Every structure is written in C-alpha cells, then in structure tokens.
Chain A
Amino acid sequence: MSEVQAPAIVVENLRITLRNTDIDIVDDVSFEIAPGEVLGLVGESGSGKTTAGLALLGHCRRGVEIAGGSVRVGETDVLALDTLARRRLRGGIVSYVPQDPAASLNPALRIGTQLRETLEVHNYGADDEARRERLAEMMREVLLPDDPAYLRRYPHELSGGQQQRVGLAMAFACRPRVIVLDEPTTGLDVTTQAHVLNSVRDLTELHRAAALYVSHDLAVVATLATRVAVMYAGRVVELGPSQELFETPSHPYTRRLIGAIPHISGKRQLAGIPGRAPSPGNRPKGCFFAPRCSWKIDQCTVELPPLRSVSNGHLARCIRAEEVRAEAGLPSGETLPADAVSVEDAVLSLRSVHSAYGGHTVVHDINFDLAPHECLALVGESGSGKTTLARSIGGLHRERRGEILLNGEPLAASSRGRSREARRMIQYIFQNPYGSLNPRRTIGQIVRQPVELFGTGSDREADKLVGEMLERVSLTAAYAERYPDQLSGGERQRVAIARALICEPAVLVCDEVTSALDVSVQAAIVDLLAELQRDLGLSMLFVTHNLPLVRSIAQRVAVMNHGRIVEMGTVDSVLLNPADDYTKALLADTPSLEAATT
C-alpha cells in the first residue's frame, strides 16, 4: 500500500444527475487512488459505475450532468476546467479504455496512424523521431509487434485481444497519471483476458499510473485490484482492500454478490439476489438495498446510512456492518451431491457430426450421448464451434454431416425438415434475450406461439397455460400483457425459457443463456434451469464459456477447442483433474475469487 504517497486522483462527493432534474444517478461517491494502484469499481448494470468512471474524465453522457463534487488530479480540479482544457486533459493526463475495442478504433485508419494521432494531439515527444520511438515502445509494452508492417494494419486485421491491447497502448501513450478502464475484457476469451489483465497490471506499475478498473466481474477485479469499491444504485456501498473485502464482506449486497458467483472448486447451488436494483428516481427511502436485504431491520428504512469505517481502510454503508462482517462463511446454496449418470438409453445422440460454413468445416467429428435427466455442459472459447454445434442440434444450422439421433430417430439438418414432434421435443434458448423476443409482440403472444402450432386446446386453455408457464419461471401471469422492452434482461430470459417449456420439451439446448446478464441474475437463471431440469426431468445441453458456471448446473462437461471435443467427462474429473492441455490452460486462465483471496 502507498499511504505515504500523495494520491494521483481524489474524487469527493461526486454527484451526477439527469440534466435539469434532481434525480441522481450517482451520489456521494468519494475515493482516491494512489499512483500505481488499481481500484476496482464493481457493480451490476445500472449501478452507475460507468457513469462514475466517465466523470473522472469530466465527461458524461447526453442528458446527464455532473451536479456536484470534485475530481482532483494532482492540483487540477477536472470538473472546474472548461471544455477545451478538459479535452487537453483527456488522453494526456487522464485516459480511458472503452469496453468494446472494435467500436472504439476507427476502422478506416491504420492502427499506427491512430496511435501517432494521440501523441501528436497531446504534443508528446519533441519531434517525429521521438514519437516514432515512443510508438514502438508502446507496442512493446503491450506485447505487440512494433514493426512498421504491423502498424500499417487496420483494426479489422487484428483479433479482439490485439485490438484491446492497441486500445491500452493508446491510453498509456502519453503516460497518463490516471487511467479509467471500462470493462476492457468483457467479450474477450479467458485466455485473451488473462493476457490483457497482465498488460494492465504491468503498465500501471511501470508508469505509476492510478487505474480505475470498472467491471461487473468480481473474479477479474479480485485478481487485479488492490482495493475494491462496490457500487449499488449509484452509491458506493463498500470500499476496502481487495482481499479483506472479499474475505469479510461487510455489506449484505457484497455478500450476496459474492454468493452469486460460481466457484470452480466446489459444486454448489448459486444464490441469486431477489428483487431488482431500484432505478434512479425510484429509489426507496432509507438504505437502497433494504427491500432486497435479509438483514433488514426497521431502522434501515429511515435514512440512507453513511459510508463508515469498519476496520482500517475498510468502509461499508450499512448500519449492521459489524454483524454482517462477523457472519462466518459466505452465503451460498447447499452443496449439491454429485450425481451419477448413465447414458444407456440416450435421448439425444450425436454420431460423427461435422458442421460447416460455406464449405469450411468448423465443427469436426462430434460424438456424444445425452442421457435423460442429464445436463451436459459444452465449454469452449469463442470460435470453438460450440454455438454452431448447438445450432446444428436445434435445427438452425443446415450445413452439417453425420447423424443426430433423437430417441434413435435421425433428425434432418433443418428444423423445417423435421417432424412436428421433433421440433417440439428439442427447444433452443438463445444467448441474447434482447434479440430472441419480438419487440412488437406481447409476452403473452410470444409464449403462446408454440401452443398455437403444437397445441390443440382452446384459446382459454392456451391463456391458462401461458399463465402457468410464466409462473413456472417466477414471473406472474400479469406479464403476458407487457412488451419485451418493459422487461429487464433476466425477465426476458425467463420469458424465453417459458416459451421453451410450454412445448414440454425433452431436450433443452441453452446457448450461453446467461452471458448477457448480471451475475446475480445469472445465478437466479441458472438456479431456475437446474430446478426445472430436476423437476421436469429435462435433458439439457448447456453451452457456455464460463467454466465455473458448469459446476453449478451440469453433471458432465465436454470441452471444445477448434471445433473438436478435446476432453469429456464428469464435472469433477474434468475441472479438478484435467487431462488435456487445453483444458488445463483454460482453467489456469480463468480468474477466480478463491485463487485471488487465498
């Protein structure tokens, strides 16, 4: 720790509101970051973490304004500067790494040009020669080749990880004193993520830059940050040294958040957080977390508790912080027994399945059986062919060879070539609940659609069935009247599950169904799927890139790499004693809370 050093950036009582209103998005946010230190800012979507992060650059989104507080970098108060001075500050003294590198790099300019531009705008270096040297140095710092041929590439000629490293190089180009990283590894594979995180760690140390790492991923933050601030509903609810905060969380929200993360080592049920974070303008009186909190007492609803110290350098915004802190063990569901699976009478069998795109084979020779009541996880990084395989099974990908058997009957490649019964028995749930529900239809119409195709019952029975299904996925029948855009991501995914369940399927193919969701919502969805699988005796193919998640839902796991299954076995054997090198690498690169805190 660097108490002796003056902090590089001091944020005090930051307040950000919707323009011309008194509705705050972020309020009462104070923290400081020492040079060379990484502060992790953790929160779920809508918690205001990105808004707070951008304020460090004196920037806010349209329709939003910084209403109060101060952001001091050294002697300068960023918020007191005029537009021109702020622009000079950004990229030079305070820089920013955005979430999506593909969207933040100009696709029409060579990366060398873009990097040079940053240096020129900020008059970095004495002359062109000095800048060229700095450019090469930057590229080496982020472990990219520094030869001219590479610098002449366009962003699309780089992989996602390389693009993000160019983004990092650009951010560190002028040796800024403060750097804001906004979920820079979201959307990257774990291996790539591990490399980028290493670069971030090395660069902040090397340049003595103060870094604010904004992320929703607790495991990533735990491995990277020295201190962590947890945001909920626009407030910092807990702030403390990383290890201490994750070992003895002192705010109920932090505890629940940690409980919602899947762990690699032990099979246990995930515990979601009930309810939904209040949106700006709809926040309750008292502690904002009180309506969802199991520690709630009457006093909690009186006024918002202040952030107060619970131990050295550890702050929490809870009146019962000491009790929360003293509670032994982290909240988590019961440990699930590892269940044995027999695959004698398989529901679904794949026999040397190959799938291709335009003649280019991306999935090679896949063989496996899916037993009744079994959940098989299909794990792999992006490009491993796992989604293509899932789509082939779902009848959404036509270019495929080999046999897929449903109860011994071979299935046609396209869903339209399959029998009605086969279409009903295999249901597919899509990754992105924002894309899989027609925005112009009500939830009722969406869930009803399969009934109209497969069912024989009357309108009234169909309505009743829709209501039952919505309740089955923990929504209410009242949701039938709503449109998808009135629902949160988690609720939408529940609707998608209800649409699949109403068909009474035998096999559920879940394609990365939680990757677009927050961890607490992910936990609730996985919990729901696991329960449905148990209660309804579904067979499930659970496609994911998230290895720890496999623990909480699957009995067997198949690891895919370059279109082939490299390892397959029970969850315990694969995750604890991986045989294949690829699986080992994958496990080693997966950030985990346990590894970071022990």
Chain B
Amino acid sequence: MTLVADTPLTPEPEAVGPSPPTGRLLRSALGLWRTRIGITLAGAMIAVALFGPYVAPHGPSDFVGAPNSSSVGTFGTDHLGQDVLSRFLAGGRSILAISAAATLIGLVLGSIVGLVSAYARNLLDDGLMRLMDVILAFPQIMLALVALVTLGPKTWLIIVAVGGTTMPRVARVIRGAAQPIVERDFVAAADALGVPRWRILLGEVLPNVLSPLMVECSLRLTYSIGLVATLGFFGFTPNPGGADWGLMIFENRLALTVQPWGVVLPVIAIALITLGTGLLGDGVARAAAGIDRGRATE
C-alpha cells in the first residue's frame, strides 16, 4: 500500500530557504531604525577609541601650552597644559577594552550559572541563586571600589570586579529565560537519549536563550562602560597619568567654566556610546519579541 501523507504534493510554496532563527533575529533587528542608529553611534565611538591615537596631533601626555587654555589646538588644553583633543582620542581605548572584557566575563559566567541553575532545578539551583542574590545585594560600584581600594587599581582587577558583579545580573536573566526551555519536550527527548548534560545545556538550551542573551549583552556593556568610566573618574585607572575618559572628567571638572572641552568631550563620547549600545540592545529585544511571537516582518 502507499503511504498517505500530509506532505505537499507540489513544491513547498512558503519555504523561504533555510535560515537559522538567530540569523533571522539579526536581520530583522537591522531592519529597525533604532538598531541602525545604535550601531552607527557605537561604531563611531569605537572607531574614535581604536584609531584616535593614530590621528592625534600630539601625544596624550605632551605638554603643548598653558593649562586650561582654550586658544591652543582645536579644543584647548587641560589642567596640566596637555592637548584635550589628543587625550580624548587616546582615552577611549582602555575604557572600552576593559568594559568589553568585563562584560564578556560577566556574560560567560552569568550564562553558565543561569543555565546550570535552570537545568538543575534542585539544591544546586537554590545555592547558586542565593549566592547571586548576595552579590546583587551590594551596588556594583561599591563592590568594585572595595576590591580596587584593597588591591590597587590593576587592569585585571577592574575587569574581574566589573565582570564579577555583572555575572549575577546576567545569571538571573538567563535562568529566567532557560526555565521554560528546560521544561520543553526536546530537552526531555535529549535526556532520554542520554545526551551528556553539558551538550544539552550548550546544544539544546543555550540556542533558545540567545535572544535575551544578546539583549543582555548590549545592556550589560552599557552599564560596564558607565561603571568603568566612573571608576576612572575616581582615579582608579591602571595608568593614573595616562589618558582615560573617566579620569579626564575628574581632572578637568574644576575648570568647567573656563575650559569646558576637557569635560564635555569625554562626556559626549561616553553618552553616545552608551546610547548606541542601549539602542542596539533595544532593537534586538524588539526584533526578538516579534520573532518569538512568530510575527517576524520579513
């Protein structure tokens, strides 16, 4: 006998060609204006930080004129007589590199904790999440300051302090997103086949929480940049004499009325890049909401 199937008799009309949901997510996110603006802003600021030092007219620590003078160079000099533009162009690298590294650590650790917690559903879940709650109980900046005051402003320590305090925030979100996923039957199916647990977490669960993870990624990057800049403002930078957007704001704040550029330039830069990453995250979140409800506009 022939099998009767509900398979199409004619070639599938609605097949749009295979495309992984994650690819679809990015494409539909790029279709939103907020995402495009976000990428432009963040991209511009990253470009300034990366290539700035090569186009700077002076070295970041060169003395080029009288302190707080607005007549030297494009944006004048700072409180020590160094060129503001050159310091601004040089001051983005460390802050962005440190923020990115810290965010990455926070995301990786937080995802692991979140996934394991959601999948374990037992004492381990409780233990991990209460630990996260303890870290969450302290403001991020306070824990970071305590660590830096105790051990000194070292690059690795700033990264660990910011990343470590980012972790519980990511963990909560990922656990929440993964909880309904681990209850789905495809996870049970993998369990029944005896797929190793780490492969279930990475292969079955993680791909299904990528949308919130991507949103979290840009959101946490935004916060990390702010935090690292704040630490710089308080003088906690690995290179105290060097250029750093946060430090520049602190150094030049007294001369704000006389020579505002020393403060305004880094403030604008930090504002634009956080705005950019924020918009980017928002765009991804909106696209994800559309796709997850099955209303992707393609």
Contact = CB atoms under 8 A, between A and B. Distances in A.
Say whether A associates with B: yes
B150 interface: no
Given A396-B191, A453-B193, A292 B186 contact: no
A520 interface: yes
B6 A524 contact: yes
A483 B17 CA distance: 10
Contacts of A333: 1
B4 A423 contact: no
A474 B7 contact: yes
Nearest to A476: B7
Contact of B10 (A271, A291, A431, A527): A291
A482 B11 CA distance: 14
A449 B9 contact: no
B7 A276 contact: yes
Contacts of A449: 190, 193, 195
Interface in A429-454: 430-432, 435-442, 446, 449-450, 453
B9 A440 contact: no
B3 A528 contact: yes
Interface string B176-194: 0000000011101111111
Interface in B1-45: 1, 3-10, 13-16, 18-22
Contacts of B1: 333, 531
Interface string A308-335: 0000000000000000000000000100
A554 B18 CA distance: 38
A76 interface: no
Contact of B9 (A291, A430, A474): A291
A415 B196 CA distance: 12
B208 interface: yes
A490 B208 CA distance: 23
B127 interface: no
B9 A274 contact: yes
B186 A438 contact: yes
B192 A531 contact: no
B10 A442 contact: no
Given A274-B9, A430-B188, A415 B207 contact: no
Contact of B4 (A271, A396, A431, A442): A271
Interface residues on B, range: 35 or more
Contact of B3 (A276, A435, A503, A527): A527
A21 interface: no
A441 B21 CA distance: 9
Contacts of B189: 428, 430, 436, 499
Contact of B192 (A271, A394, A482, A491): A394
B186 A395 contact: no
B204 interface: yes
A436 B192 CA distance: 12
A523 B4 CA distance: 9
A435 B184 contact: yes
A415 B191 contact: yes
Contacts of B15: 482, 486
Contact of A430 (B14, B185, B204, B208): B185
A520 B194 contact: no
Given A274-B9, A483-B21, A488-B6, A428 B186 contact: no
Interface in A389-439: 394-396, 415-416, 418, 420, 423, 428, 430-432, 435-439
Contacts of A441: 203, 207
Contacts of B192: 394-396, 415, 423, 428
A62 to B, nearest CB: 9
Contacts of A499: 189
B194 A423 contact: yes
A341 to B, nearest CB: 22
Contact of A440 (B10, B13, B208): B208
Interface residues of A, number: 56
A486 B296 CA distance: 13
A595 B193 CA distance: 44
Contact of A279 (B14, B20, B21): B14
A453 B20 contact: no
A595 B264 CA distance: 84
A83 to B, nearest CB: 24
A446 B294 CA distance: 21
Contacts, number: 121
A485 B294 CA distance: 9
Contacts of B204: 438
B27 to A, nearest CB: 15
A30 to B, nearest CB: 29
Contacts of B208: 438-440
Contacts of A523: 4
Contacts of B19: 483
A521 interface: yes
Q: Most B CB atoms within 10 A — which of A274, A292, A396, A446? A: A274
B195 A453 contact: yes
A494 B8 CA distance: 14
Contact of A521 (B6, B10, B186, B203): B6
A474 B3 contact: yes
A491 B7 contact: yes
Contacts of B203: 441
Contacts of A160: none
Given A428-B189, A483-B20, A273 B6 contact: yes
A282 interface: yes
Nearest to A531: B3
A450 B188 CA distance: 14
Contact of A272 (B5, B16, B20): B5
Contact of B14 (A282, A415, A437, A450): A282
Interface in B23-79: none
Given A439-B208, A449-B195, A524 B4 contact: yes
A177 to B, nearest CB: 36
B6 A272 contact: yes
Interface in A445-483: 446, 449-450, 453, 474-476, 481-483
Q: Which of B6, B7, B16, B22 has the most CB of A within 10 A?
A: B6
Contacts of B13: 279, 282
A274 B10 CA distance: 11
B209 to A, nearest CB: 10
Contacts of B7: 275-276, 474-476, 491
Interface in B268-285: none
A224 to B, nearest CB: 27
Given A440-B21, A481-B18, A483-B20, A415 B194 contact: yes
A501 B291 CA distance: 32
A348 to B, nearest CB: 15
A415 B197 CA distance: 12
Interface string B79-114: 000000000000000000000000000000000000
Interface string A106-142: 0000000000000000000000000000000000000
Name, among A274, A430, A440, the residue most crowded by chain B CB atoms within 10 Å (CB to CB): A440
B9 A292 contact: yes
Given A395-B192, A438-B208, A441-B207, 9 more contacts: A276-B7, A394-B192, A436-B189, A438-B186, A453-B194, A481-B18, A483-B19, A524-B4, A528-B3
9 contacts: A275-B7, A282-B14, A415-B191, A423-B192, A430-B189, A431-B185, A439-B208, A475-B5, A475-B7
